[in-house]
């Protein structure tokens, strides 16, 4: 009988112990949280200070860098202006020297060129004159040859043309004669046709009845003489 009470007691004691333990643990945890919150606040404060300090240092560095850059820039501008001035000066000197030298060389070249040109011109004139003379002589010779050939050819052509004209003339004469004969034959034939037609018309109309009868009788007698009615 005691066992259940003992068990209940143990269980009760255990439960109470457990509850106490939990509560103690909760309290301990709460204290740790507060401690952590304090540390966090402390750290946050330190961070803020560090950042502020870093910003101040950064600003200082930037400011110095800008000053330095501006100073460098000013120095470089001055240097560049000097450099440009120097360069321009050098270029002018080189150009003047070059120009002077070119003028000198050009003058020499010009003289040489003039000499060369004159000699070439003289040579060319001489050769041209020679060529023209040769051409003129050749042309004259060829012209003379041509004249002679032309004279010969003209005489020959005249003979050929004369013969050809005679041949053509003979052909034309022959054609005309043929045409004339043909036309005369045609005219004669036409005349005969016309005469024949007129004769026929006149005969047909001019014959009297007795003449027609006579012709028919003659025809029958001729037929008899020729033996047409025999047998």
Partner 1 sequence: MFTDIFASLYTKQELLELLRQLAEIEHEFYNTTSDITATIDRTLDYNKKPLITSYFIKNNLDIRQKKTFDTFFTEFTKAARLFPTISLSLSFMPATRTIEKISSTLDQLIPHHLLDIHVDTSILGGAIIAYKGHYKDYSLKKKVEEYFAKQN
Give residues in contact with partner 1 (CB under 8 A): 192, 195-196, 199-200, 203-204, 207, 209, 211-213, 215-224, 226, 228-229, 231
Q: Tell me if 193 sits within 8 A of 201, measured CB to CB.
A: no
Q: Give CA–CA dist 34/40, Å, rounded.
A: 10
3-class state of residue 2 by DSSP: helix
State the minimum distance, in angstroms, from the CB of residue 202 to partner 1. 10
Cα dihedral 79, 81, 85, 91 in deg (nearest 10):
90
Task: Return the DSSP state at 1.
Answer: -
Cα–Cα distances (Å) from 70 to 29, 64, 77, 108, 120, in that order, read 60, 10, 10, 56, 70
Q: Give the CA diameter of the chain.
A: 204
By C-beta, is 23 or 215 nearer to partner 1? 215
CA–CA gap between residue 8 and residue 16 (Å, rounded): 12
Q: Which is nearer to partner 1, 163 or 222 (CB)?
A: 222
Q: Please state the closest distance from residue 206 (CB atom) to partner 1, in A.
A: 10
Specify the residue, 3 or 209, whose C-beta has the smaller distance to partner 1. 209
Question: To the nearest whole angstrom, how small is the minimum distance from the Cβ of residue 208 to partner 1?
Answer: 10
CB of residue 154 vs partner 1: minimum separation in angstroms? 54
Comparing CB distances to partner 1, the nearer of 164 and 212 is: 212
Between 73 and 191, whose beta carbon lies closer to partner 1? 191
Distance of CA 157 to the CA centre of its chain: 57
Q: Specify the DSSP element, H or E, that contains 49.
A: helix 2-206
Q: Nearer to partner 1 by C-beta: 4 or 231?
A: 231
From first CA to last CA, the distance across the chain in angstroms is 197
Report, in Å, the least distance between residue 178 CB and partner 1.
19
User: Nearest approach, Cβ of 223 to partner 1 (angstroms)?
Assistant: 5
């Amino acid at each position: 009988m005691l066992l259940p009470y003992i068990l209940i007691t143990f269980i009760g004691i255990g439960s109470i112990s457990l509850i106490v333990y939990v509560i103690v643990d909760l309290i301990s945890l709460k204290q740790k949280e507060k401690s952590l919150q304090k540390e966090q606040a402390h750290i946050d404060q330190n961070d803020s200070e560090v950042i502020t300090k870093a910003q101040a240092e950064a600003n200082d560095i930037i400011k110095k860098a800008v000053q330095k850059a501006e100073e460098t820039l000013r120095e470089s501008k001055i240097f560049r202006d000097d450099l440009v001035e120097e360069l321009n000066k050098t270029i002018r000197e080189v150009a003047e020297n070059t120009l002077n030298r070119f003028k000198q060389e050009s003058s020499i070249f010009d003289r040489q060129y003039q000499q060369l040109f004159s000699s070439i011109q003289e040579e060319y004139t001489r050769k041209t004159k020679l060529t023209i003379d040769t051409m003129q002589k050749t042309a004259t010779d060829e012209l003379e040859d041509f004249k002679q050939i032309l004279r010969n050819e003209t005489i020959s052509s005249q003979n050929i043309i004369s013969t050809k004209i005679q041949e053509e003339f003979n052909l034309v004469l022959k054609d005309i004669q043929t045409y004339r004969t043909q036309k005369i034959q045609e005219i004669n034939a036409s005349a005969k046709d016309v005469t024949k037609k007129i004769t026929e018309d006149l005969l047909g109309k001019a014959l009297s009845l007795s003449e027609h009868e006579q012709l028919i009788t003659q025809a029958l007698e001729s037929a008899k003489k020729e033996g047409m009615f025999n047998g």
